[in-house]
Amino acid sequence: MRNLFNEYDKLSASQKKIVLEAIDGNEISEKELKDRYKDLINGCCGEIKIFGLTYEPADVLEGVDEVAFRCGYSDFLGTEESIVEVEGKYYESDNIKEAIDDLEEEEEEEEEEE
Per residue in 70-91, pLDDT tens? 999 999 998 888 898 888 889 9
Mean pLDDT value across the chain? 89
Residue 30 has pLDDT above 70, yes or no: yes
Please classify residue 96 by burial: count the beta carbons closer than 10 Å to its beta carbon, then call 0-12 exposed, 13-18 middle and 19+ buried: buried
How high is the pLDDT of residue 85?
87
How high is the pLDDT of residue 2?
62
Distance (Å, whole) CA 99 – CA 103? 6
Distance (Å, whole) CA 59 – CA 68? 12
How high is the pLDDT of residue 40?
95
Residue 37 has pLDDT above 90, yes or no: yes
How high is the pLDDT of residue 82?
87
Residue 52 has pLDDT above 60, yes or no: yes
